[in-house]
């Protein structure tokens, strides 16, 4: 195509797009293009301040113009292209589910916007502002133009609070140091409202049950000169005496199994426990559950923090479906409150089936079934018991016409107590009840022509949260015992010559504590454009035992527990993620993760199950699961031969992924993954695996794209990835691209 024709074609295409935008308009209708602002100020202000004013004003305007991508309103074009379908079909679905009708502009809406803008300017301190409205109509499109003259922005000069001798005024005086109304900051009506709410909240934390922000009035004097304003807060004279009084809790009454048709005036004899009145005819709950959970105590001062704390704890126990709280004034002279809790019990037991299928590029096929039973309130103290039974079968082609069948069967038992079980008394003032967790598990693993593994594990520890975003898990003791049996002669020959394989089924005893901390802002109910996730894990095994016994593998002084050598190591792992919301349905997700394991004393290597691995659908997706590295070591082509999982002592990885919605439940992503694993010491069976100062030259890189079917409760993911840097290649040829060397990953959920 000649250059002139190319320009002509582009212009024609743009002309057709412009015409089609207004295709569905009726007579007298105009497509809304969006606003234009001209902001004039009598004082010189920064471009940033001007942009802030514009952004703030623009957010108030209604309606919003049709959405665009790269300057083109695709959804509007689809709506117009679909025409007027009379029955359901592709055109109907495109028009009503994918398309977006044209947003119309009108003078009445623009004039309403002008009034709102002027009012908003006054509310942020521009008392001498003006907003003028103009409109431009061209080619069936309308645009509103606002010329804003701000005037000078008034700032706060002095702020005073109620200073009479009443108890209420003295209480308010205590809070003035934390006031939001600071000298020198711009006047803001929203700030005044927030200050009234702040003081009301503090008063309610100190017994003022009947107080309200409406009883506070802030008088503003803007005549003091120099574009400043004085503020004086007062308590309205019409404030009732009950709003000025401090309330105390009289009785705390609990209906432990409340239903709509429950007769709360029943003649059932209540249980009196530590001052609480508990109606629980079926004795479903221990009375101590409520004394340990509720922050309100009979005789205590009313406190809205205790009120919210008690409600949050009751909900987080997980044994109540609905929680309702009522107060009733019972003494108008001494200002006392009765507190009533109405608790509706949740379903006690639930059964969950989970079925999964497996197909991978390494010629593996199989499936698994998991059956989980959850029993709430197991011992009448809101304990949660979870029992899981799982089994699976996998068939793998080892190459050369050989196959192996892998059978897994296991049982995992968890018991959670909604408190810290410890000889030490631990005070908890958080909304999230801490938990004590006891775990017991067993797994049977059988590879038909290789070996059998029996694995036992148990742990005892605590789980607690400071907030919705923070969670801590501390296992005081973790015991894991793995014992291989029935090793076939053919496989034993491989173990004798392959250290990696030998370590993968080594008999071992792991005993020690571990700690895990998670911070996740995405769990907060407040929506943010910037979200963070951070996880830190520290795992210790036999450190005290090893030191106390003088265990030393290198000198032959290997210590055992029940005739089994115990593993001695320190292992740490970090995972940091950053999520940037670029739009309502577009997210840039980033992850940096890595860790290190250090074996010493009674061990020369880390246990296989505690090692790091690279490659796979949730890792570096352009490489097969667990087969990347370590370092520059190349284990072979997994498509033609069986390759054992490749462990390492050190891991570094970085990922970035752009996720966006295409239509309905269909999402798409483009991603880049980079990283590798290394051994801490030289491994003669895997040359090039050791970590060195030149590690950055051994980073593997993969790129790809993927389809996500996001059903909210379930995300089905398909990722197609291609390696662009393979660390085992010779220097100068590591970076290359071959579309035939691709990996297709199928997984459930997002990779990070």
Domain check: are 625 and 658 in the same one?
yes
pTM of the model: 0.78
Domain check: are 294 and 174 in the same one?
no
For the purposes of burial, counting CB atoms within 10 Å of the CB of 137, is it exposed (0-12), middle (13-18) or buried (19 or more)?
exposed
Domain check: are 332 and 221 in the same one?
no
* Nearest CA-CA partner of 148 in 71, 50, 23: 50
Quote the CA–CA distance of 697 and 680 in Å, as a whole number: 17
Quote the CA–CA distance of 47 and 50 in Å, as a whole number: 5
Quote the CA–CA distance of 163 and 235 in Å, as a whole number: 10
Tell me if 175 is assigned to some domain.
yes
Helix (H, G, I), strand (E, B) or coil at 81: helix
Tell me if 186 is assigned to some domain.
yes
- The runs of H, that is alpha helices, within 368-453 are none
Tell me if 195 is assigned to some domain.
yes
User: What count of other Cβ atoms lies within 10 Å of the Cβ of residue 338?
Assistant: 17
Angle, in degrees to the nearest 10, between helices 74-81 and 3-21:
70
Q: Which residues contact 633 (CB under 8 A, 6 or more apart)?
A: 646, 686, 687, 688, 689, 728
Tell me if 277 is assigned to some domain.
yes
Structure tokens at 80: 């117009």
Quote the CA–CA distance of 224 and 185 in Å, as a whole number: 16
Residue ending a domain, among 345, 362, 379, is 345
Tell me if 580 is assigned to some domain.
no
Q: What is the CATH number of the domain that holds 42?
A: 3.10.20.310
Helix (H, G, I), strand (E, B) or coil at 348: coil
Domain check: are 169 and 290 in the same one?
no
Domain check: are 125 and 46 in the same one?
yes
Domain check: are 226 and 257 in the same one?
no
Q: Which residues contact 97 (CB under 8 A, 6 or more apart)?
A: 663, 664
Tell me if 556 is assigned to some domain.
no
Domain check: are 170 and 202 in the same one?
yes
Q: What is the CATH number of the domain that holds 713?
A: 2.40.160.50
H/E element holding 53? helix 47-58
Residues of the chain with pLDDT under 70: 1-19, 262-267, 356-366, 396-403, 425-429, 638-642
Tell me if 740 is assigned to some domain.
yes
Quote the CA–CA distance of 336 and 209 in Å, as a whole number: 10
Domain check: are 179 and 272 in the same one?
no
Tell me if 715 is assigned to some domain.
yes
- Domain, as residue range, for 237: 155-244
Domain check: are 239 and 302 in the same one?
no
Residue ending a domain, among 244, 261, 283, is 244
* CA 451 from centre of chain: 40
Total domains in the chain come to: 4
pLDDT of residue 1: 47
Domain check: are 299 and 326 in the same one?
yes
Quote the CA–CA distance of 243 and 222 in Å, as a whole number: 31
Q: 283-313 burial string, b = 16+ CB within 10 Å, else e?
A: eebbbebbeebbbbeeeeebbbebbebbbbb
Quote the CA–CA distance of 369 and 258 in Å, as a whole number: 37
* Nearest CA-CA partner of 614 in 537, 672, 656, 675: 675
Integer distance in angstroms from the first to the last C-alpha of the chain?
Answer: 45
User: What count of other Cβ atoms lies within 10 Å of the Cβ of residue 378?
Assistant: 17
| Ramachandran angles phi, psi of 571, nearest 5° | -135, 130
Report pLDDT digits (tens) over 305-359.
999 999 999 998 999 999 999 999 998 889 999 999 999 999 999 998 877 655 5
pLDDT of residue 359: 52
Angle, in degrees to the nearest 10, between helices 107-123 and 47-58:
130
Q: 403, 396 in Cβ contact below 8 A?
A: yes
Q: 418-436 burial string, b = 16+ CB within 10 Å, else e?
A: bbbeeeeeeeeeebbbbbb
Strand order in the sheet with 271-273: 271-273, 276-279, 248-255, 336-345, 320-331
Domain check: are 195 and 261 in the same one?
no
Residue ending a domain, among 214, 244, 274, is 244
Write out the E strands in 314-450.
Answer: 320-331, 336-345, 349-360, 364-376, 384-399, 402-417, 435-447
pLDDT of residue 358: 53
Domain check: are 262 and 239 in the same one?
no
């Amino acid at each position: 195509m000649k250059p002139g024709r190319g320009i002509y074609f582009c212009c024609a295409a743009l002309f057709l797009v412009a015409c089609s935008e207004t295709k569905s308009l009726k007579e007298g209708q105009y497509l809304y293009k969006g606003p234009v602002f001209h902001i004039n100020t009598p004082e010189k202000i920064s471009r940033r301040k001007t942009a802030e004013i514009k952004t703030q004003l623009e957010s108030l305007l209604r309606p919003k113009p049709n959405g665009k991508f790269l300057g083109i309103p695709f959804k509007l074009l689809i709506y117009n292209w679909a025409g007027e379908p009379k029955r359901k079909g592709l055109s109907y679905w495109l028009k009503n589910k994918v398309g977006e009708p044209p947003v119309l502009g009108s003078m009445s809406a623009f004039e309403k916007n002008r009034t709102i803008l002027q009012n908003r300017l006054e509310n942020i301190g521009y008392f001498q502002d003006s907003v003028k409205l103009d409109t431009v109509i061209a080619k069936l499109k309308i645009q509103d133009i606002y010329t804003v003259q701000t005037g000078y922005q008034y700032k706060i000069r002095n702020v005073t609070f109620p200073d009479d001798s009443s108890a209420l005024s003295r209480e308010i005086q205590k809070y003035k140091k934390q006031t939001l109304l600071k000298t020198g900051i711009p006047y803001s009506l929203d700030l005044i409202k927030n200050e009234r709410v702040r003081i009301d909240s503090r008063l309610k934390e100190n017994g003022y049950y009947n107080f309200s922000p409406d009883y506070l009035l802030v008088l503003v004097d803007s005549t003091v000169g120099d574009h400043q304003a004085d503020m004086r807060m007062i308590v309205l004279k019409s404030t009732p005496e009950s709003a000025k009084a401090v309330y105390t809790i009289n009785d705390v009454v609990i209906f432990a199994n409340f239903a709509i048709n429950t007769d709360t005036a029943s003649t059932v004899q209540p249980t009196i426990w530590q001052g609480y009145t508990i109606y629980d005819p079926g004795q479903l709950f221990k009375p101590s559950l409520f004394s340990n959970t509720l922050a309100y105590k009979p005789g205590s001062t009313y406190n809205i923090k205790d009120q919210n704390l008690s409600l949050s704890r009751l909900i987080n126990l997980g044994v109540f479906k609905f929680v309702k709280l009522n107060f009733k004034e019972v003494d108008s002279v001494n200002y006392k409150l009765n507190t009533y809790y109405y608790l509706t019990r949740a379903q006690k037991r639930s059964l969950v089936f989970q079925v999964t299928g497996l197909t991978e590029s390494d010629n593996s096929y199989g499936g698994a079934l998991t059956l989980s039973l959850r029993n709430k309130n197991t011992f009448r103290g809101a304990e949660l018991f979870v029992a899981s039974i799982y089994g699976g079968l996998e068939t793998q082609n080892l190459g050369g016409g050989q196959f192996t069948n892998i059978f897994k069967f296991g049982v995992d038992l968890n018991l959670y107590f909604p408190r810290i079980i410890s000889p030490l008394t631990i005070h908890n003032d958080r909304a999230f009840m801490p938990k004590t967790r006891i775990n017991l598990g067993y797994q049977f693993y059988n590879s038909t022509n290789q070996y059998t593994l029996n694995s036992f594990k148990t742990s005892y520890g605590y789980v607690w949260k400071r907030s919705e975003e923070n969670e801590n898990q501390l296992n005081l003791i973790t015991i894991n015992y793995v014992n291989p049996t029935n090793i076939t002669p053919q496989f034993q020959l491989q173990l004798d010559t392959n250290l990696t394989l030998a370590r993968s089924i080594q008999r071992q005893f792991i005993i020690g504590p571990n700690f895990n901390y998670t911070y996740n802002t995405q769990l907060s109910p407040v929506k943010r454009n910037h979200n963070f996730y951070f996880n830190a894990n520290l795992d210790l095994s036999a450190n005290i035992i090893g030191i106390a016994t003088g265990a030393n593998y290198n000198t032959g002084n290997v210590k055992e527990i029940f005739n089994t050598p115990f593993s001695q190591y320190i292992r740490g792992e970090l995972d940091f993620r950053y999520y940037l919301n670029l739009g309502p349905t577009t997210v840039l997700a980033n992850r940096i993760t890595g860790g290190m394991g250090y074996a010493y004393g009674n061990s020369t290597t880390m246990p296989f199950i505690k090692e790091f691995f690279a490659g796979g659908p949730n890792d570096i997706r352009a490489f097969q699961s667990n087969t990347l590295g370590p370092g520059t070591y190349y284990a072979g082509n997994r498509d033609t031969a069986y390759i054992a999982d490749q462990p390492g002592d050190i891991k570094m990885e970085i990922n970035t992924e752009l996720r966006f919605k295409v239509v309905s439940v269909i999402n798409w992503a483009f991603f880049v993954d980079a990283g590798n694993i290394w051994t801490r010491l030289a491994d003669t069976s895997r040359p090039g695996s050791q970590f060195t100062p030149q590690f950055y030259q051994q980073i593997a890189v993969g790129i790809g794209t993927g389809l996500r079917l996001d059903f909210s409760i379930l995300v089905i993911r398909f990722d197609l990835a291609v390696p662009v840097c393979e660390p085992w290649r010779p220097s100068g040829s590591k970076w290359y691209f071959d579309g035939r060397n691709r990996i297709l990953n199928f997984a459930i959920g997002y990779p990070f």
